[in-house]
């Protein structure tokens, strides 16, 4: 453990979720940890920011550094995951530095395939990547409140060691999804691409006793990958592998840019 490293930990399940508490303690093995987490669950917020009202912050009781663990300081914020990441980063900037690493999670639920588009966990990681901070979104494939995190922590340490050793290209953040199975049944780690899929039958339409219409978002996942697609992240997780997808802040499709530029003859 190097006490000189500074690590920012965020999530979208809220500061009371077991996943972020487990993650924060694990990250103390790598350095001093600052937690900034939403006061309430904020799943599905992607990279949204709070612009229409002030955000309130409260301090969580700190834990001092020990011989083997870094210190822990924490805050709750009435904002989104991206708000939490942004506020944490700006706090470091006020101290004249940036964190060495941002880890978002451990999210309760998969962020593979199309879920990556909506994920508040990844929204926070993307915010870190905007600032050039090596950033990781870490998720376990179950919505249980108290899952077995042994496999996630074991492989999370491996991936963090790789990141700290080799780095991540600027503007890239990692989406890591871990199967919710015992550690000894996980088959290893694979690099992956974001799998194709979408949700259908997304709304449960109901009517109140006073005749008002309202909707609950529910939905069923529709897999759009060929059966057995070898490198789709959600298929790998379903088959017992930890899947790592490198995402980029710059979402420009450069091939399509050139094709449209040529075909549309914009200068004529």
- 3 band by pLDDT with thresholds 50, 70 and 90: very low
Q: Which residues of 228-261 are buried (b: 16+ CB within 10 A; e: fewer)?
A: ebeebbbbbbbeebbbbbebebeeeeeeeeeeee
Average pLDDT in the 63-70 region?
A: 96
- 227 band by pLDDT with thresholds 50, 70 and 90: confident
- 268 band by pLDDT with thresholds 50, 70 and 90: low
Q: Where are the chain's structural domains?
A: 6-195+227-264
Threshold 0.85, pTM exceeds:
yes
- Contact (CB, 8 A) for 77 and 56: yes
For residue 205, CA distances in Å to 36, 43, 210, 219 come to 36, 21, 15, 12
Average pLDDT in the 71-94 region?
A: 98
Which residues, at least 6 apart from 125, have a Cβ–Cβ distance to it below 8 Å?
A: 85, 102, 104, 135, 136, 137, 173, 174, 175, 247
Rounded Cα gap, residues 200 and 251, in angstroms? 25
265: pLDDT strictly greater than 90:
no
Quote the tokens at residue 37: 């987490």
1: pLDDT strictly greater than 70:
no
Average pLDDT in the 154-159 region?
A: 98
Alpha-carbon torsion angle 4, 153, 143, 233, nearest 10: 100
2: pLDDT strictly greater than 90:
no
Rounded Cα gap, residues 260 and 267, in angstroms? 12
Rounded Cα gap, residues 28 and 107, in angstroms? 18
Which residues, at least 6 apart from 47, have a Cβ–Cβ distance to it below 8 Å?
A: 82, 123, 126, 127
Average pLDDT in the 190-219 region?
A: 95
175: pLDDT strictly greater than 70:
yes
Average pLDDT in the 20-47 region?
A: 97
In the chain, the percentage of residues whose pLDDT exceeds 70 is: 99
At 83-135, the pLDDT tens digits run 999 999 999 999 999 999 999 999 999 999 999 999 999 999 999 999 999 99
In the chain, the percentage of residues whose pLDDT exceeds 90 is: 94
For residue 155, which of 131, 129, 134, 182 has the smallest C-alpha distance?
A: 182
Domain 6-195+227-264 has CATH 3.40.1210.10: yes
* β-strand partners of 136: 103, 174
pLDDT score of 229: 87
- 241 band by pLDDT with thresholds 50, 70 and 90: very high
């Amino acid at each position: 453990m190097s006490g000189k490293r500074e690590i920012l930990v965020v999530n979208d399940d809220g500061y009371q979720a077991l996943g972020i508490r487990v993650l924060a303690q694990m990250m103390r093995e790598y350095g001093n940890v600052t937690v900034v987490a939403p006061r309430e669950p904020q799943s599905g917020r992607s990279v949204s920011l709070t612009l229409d009202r002030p955000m309130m912050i409260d301090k969580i009781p700190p834990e001092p550094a020990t011989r083997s663990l870094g210190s822990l300081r924490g805050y709750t914020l009435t904002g989104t995951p991206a708000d939490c990441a942004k506020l944490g980063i700006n706090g470091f900037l006020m101290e004249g530095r940036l964190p060495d690493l941002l880890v978002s999670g451990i999210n309760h639920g998969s962020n593979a395939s199309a879920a990556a588009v909506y994920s508040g966990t990844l929204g926070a990681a993307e915010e870190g990547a905007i600032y050039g901070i090596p950033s990781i979104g870490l998720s376990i494939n179950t919505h249980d409140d108290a899952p077995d995190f042994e496999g996630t922590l074991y492989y999370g340490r491996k991936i963090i060691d790789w990141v700290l050793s080799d780095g991540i290209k600027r503007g890239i953040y990692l989406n890591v999804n871990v199967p919710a199975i015992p550690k000894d049944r996980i088959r290893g780690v694979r690099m992956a691409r974001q799998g194709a899929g979408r949700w259908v039958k997304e709304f449960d339409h109901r009517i109140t006793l006073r005749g008002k219409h309202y909707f609950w978002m529910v939905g069923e996942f529709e897999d759009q990958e060929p059966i057995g697609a070898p490198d789709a992240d959600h298929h790998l997780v379903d088959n017992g592998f930890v899947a790592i997808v490198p995402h980029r802040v710059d979402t420009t499709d450069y091939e399509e840019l050139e094709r449209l530029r040529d075909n549309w003859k914009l200068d004529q």
